[in-house]
């Protein structure tokens, strides 16, 4: 049986390597904890902290993001909801038997489609540090959302499912969260 001898120099190098690995993993865990702390702080300042945390936790890049990165993630969540609402309202319009309901639902769907374009522009603005424009784009999407809600309430025949209504509330919360985050950049 062969025996291995490790020199003192090699032992010292291995010990240093292990120490370096331990310290780097300790620093990474502290960094991740610090970033989760930033997420909690940013979301605590919002009107809907649960929605904010859920959105940010859905993106693995959130833990390493700064405030602009976190804001961009929220705008991405908003864009995903706009996409979903546009699709759902378009489908509801296509199966509606009432023409006025069909028109309202299609107009709402178009509003969310236009909002997706504005949200992509907001992301470009955030990445180029043009926070005023980013805020204008997000605010425009919120106005379109309110216009859709007003049209639905005005037309007493339009019926939306509780699932769509919930998604619309989350969309509204995300708009307000994004606006507030942009204001604080």
* pLDDT tens readout for residues 99-108: 999 999 999 9
Tokens of 20: 């370096």
Domains and CATH numbers, the chain: 11-183 (1.20.140.40)
Tokens of 181: 């985050």
What digits encode the pLDDT tens for the residues 6-49?
666 555 554 444 444 444 443 333 333 336 788 888 898 888 99
For tokens 């919930």, name the residue: 166
Considering the entire predicted model, what is its pTM?
0.80
């Amino acid at each position: 049986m062969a025996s291995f001898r490790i020199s003192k120099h090699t032992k010292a190098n291995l010990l240093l390597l292990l120490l370096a690995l331990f310290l780097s993993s300790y620093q990474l865990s502290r960094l991740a904890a610090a970033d989760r702390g930033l997420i909690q702080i940013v979301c605590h300042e919002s009107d809907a902290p649960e929605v904010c945390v859920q959105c940010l936790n859905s993106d693995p890049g959130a833990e390493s993001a700064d405030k602009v990165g976190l804001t961009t993630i929220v705008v991405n969540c908003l864009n995903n909801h706009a996409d979903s609402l546009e699709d759902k309202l378009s489908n509801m319009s296509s199966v509606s038997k009432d023409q006025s309901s069909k028109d309202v639902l299609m107009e709402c769907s178009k509003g969310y489609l236009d909002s997706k374009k504005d949200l992509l522009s907001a992301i470009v603005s955030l990445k180029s540090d043009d926070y005023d424009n980013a805020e204008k784009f997000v605010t425009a999407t919120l106005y379109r959302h309110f216009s859709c809600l007003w049209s639905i309430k005005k037309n007493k025949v339009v019926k939306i499912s509780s699932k769509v209504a919930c998604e619309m509330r989350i969309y509204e919360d995300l708009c307000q969260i994004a606006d507030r985050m942009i204001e604080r950049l």
